[in-house]
Amino acid sequence: MKVNQARLIFLFITVTLDMIGVGLIIPSLPNVVRRFIADEHLVSEYFGYFVSVYAFMQFVASPLLGSLSDLYGRRPVLLTSIFMAAIDYLFMAFAPSLPFLFIGRMISGLTGASVTVCMAYVADISTDENRSSNYGLIGAAFGLGFIIGPALGGFLSAYGPEAPFLAAAFLNILNFLFGVFVLPESFPKEKRRAMDLKRLNPLLSLKQIFKSPIILSFAFAYFLIQLSGLTHPSIWTLYTQHRFNWSTTQVGISLTLVGLLMAISQGWFTRIVIPRLGEHKTVTYCALGNIVAFSLYALADEGWIIYIVMGFSAIFFVGQPAIQSIATKLVPSNEQGEFQGSLVGLTSLASIINPLIATQLFAHFTDKKGIYLPGAPYFFAALISLVAWLVIIRGQKITNTPNQFSS
């Protein structure tokens, strides 16, 4: 096996495992929390905390691990992160109390931020001829991990709530051993730099979006689209188990279907829809479509209806790459790296905020003492989509771009 090929395979596996780790425990995490809490109201709330703290730790740790890899090299940071991830999954599998489980989830977010170092490693070993294909391979790892994770987690949960954690630990240990033998250092000592404390502030990544009103407008629309879309991973397990009495296996399979539909939509539909409608009309129509789709998720009273809504809403996934393309065109080419970092930062913020809001709404509206409305988180997502549509229309007016009602 060629050295570069082995390194790319290792990076592909690492990113895939990171993404599998995200999806793997979503179907089983509520059952793990139920080991320590009997009150379903509190289970919903704590589930939101666990999902949110993972995203928060990734947001905080990404610049830290990136800076550490600039100082000490990519190899030691990557291997340490993978080994710590394996230990942490074992820690969570046998956590004796909820606070220990929470600490484990925080460590998971920290080690999951190693994706930043993987991207830096790819940059180190790539040339102008293969850079796009190498990053495309890593992008495929993201999608594959999101597809495999929920299905595997749902299947393994049948053997106990600890099983997905043990499987994740085993896979990470194997990957760590693989990396020890095939992963050389990619960042030479003469290029390394001391750690700049200013660069450790994750909020600095957002500064690009404030450069002009039009950039801010479309970046805010991008954030809102992300915020509404993240309702699925935040609430899906709790919602489908409560409303349709789905098993963890059913939850995992359905989440995998969502991942497949997203991959098909963004990988295939975008090539058909966007050239015909244009980016601005595509984004506008998708925002309107999401209002309808999320409302239907909220109103569904039978499990089979959810699958019909999935098929209907799949086309609206093309709105995300369209709004990203619009925003990207507003920024000069020599500022693209920094701007893409800002968009990643916005996604991270949405990943922190959404679980807290969605699970609190679900807990409140499934409490027997008040109004019963389990679909409340999806109505919230529909409302956010409405605001996104209004922001998009305003952004189009600022740029004098015809909106979707123009010919």
pLDDT for the residue numbered 199: 66
Per domain, the residue ranges of the chain are: 1-183, 205-407
Q: How many CB atoms lie within 10 A of CB 358?
A: 30
DSSP state of 70: H
Q: E strands, 54-197, where?
A: none
The pair phi, psi for residue 152, each rounded to 5°, is -65, -40
317-352 pLDDT per residue, tens: 888 888 878 887 777 755 665 676 677 778 889 999
Query: What is the rounded CA–CA span in Å between residue 64 and residue 204?
Result: 13
Model confidence, pTM: 0.81
Q: Which pLDDT score is estimated for 128?
A: 67
Share of the chain above pLDDT 70, in %: 90
CB 54 within 8 A of CB 101: no
C-alpha–C-alpha distance, residues 312 and 301, integer Å:
17
CATH of 1-183, one of 1.20.1250.20, 3.30.499.10, 1.10.10.10, 3.65.10.10: 1.20.1250.20
Q: How far apart are CA 103 and CA 118, in angstroms?
A: 24
Average pLDDT of the segment spanning 115-136:
72
pLDDT grade for 314, boundaries at 50, 70 and 90: confident
Q: Which range is most confident: 142-156, 158-172, 353-367?
A: 353-367
- Tens digits of residue pLDDT in 154-177: 888 888 888 888 988 888 888 888
The band of 382, judged by pLDDT with boundaries at 50, 70 and 90, is very high
Q: Which CATH architecture has domain 205-407?
A: Up-down Bundle (1.20)
One-letter amino acid of 240 = T
User: Residue 225: what pLDDT?
Assistant: 92
Closest alpha carbon to 260 in 226, 311, 323: 311
Angle at 380 between CA 288 and CA 213, to 5 degrees: 60
Assess contact for 368 and 382: CB atoms under 8 A.
Answer: no
Task: Decide if pLDDT at 88 tops 50.
Answer: yes
The pLDDT of residue 7 is 79
Asked whether residue 122 carries a pLDDT value surpassing 80, the answer given is no
Which residue's entry shows tokens 């990207």?
Answer: 328
CA distance 195 to 184: 22
- CB within 8 A of 132, min separation 6: which ones? none
Its sign, for the CA torsion 112, 114, 116, 119, is: negative
Q: Buried b vs exposed e over 388-398: b needs ≥16 C-beta within 10 Å?
A: bbebbbbbbee
- Distance from C-alpha of 17 to C-alpha of 2, rounded to nearest angstrom: 22
pLDDT for 402 beyond 50? no
Average pLDDT, the chain: 83
1-183 with 205-407: one CATH topology? yes
For the stretch 125-149, what's the b/e string if a residue is b when 16 or more beta carbons lie within 10 angstroms of its beta carbon? bbeeeeeeebeebbeebbbbbbbbb
Is there a contact between 18 and 114 (Cβ–Cβ < 8 Å)? yes
Average confidence (pLDDT) over 181-208: 74
Instruction: Provide mean pLDDT across the span 104-126.
Output: 77
Per residue in 197-247, pLDDT (tens digit) is 666 677 776 777 887 888 888 889 989 998 999 998 889 999 999 999 998
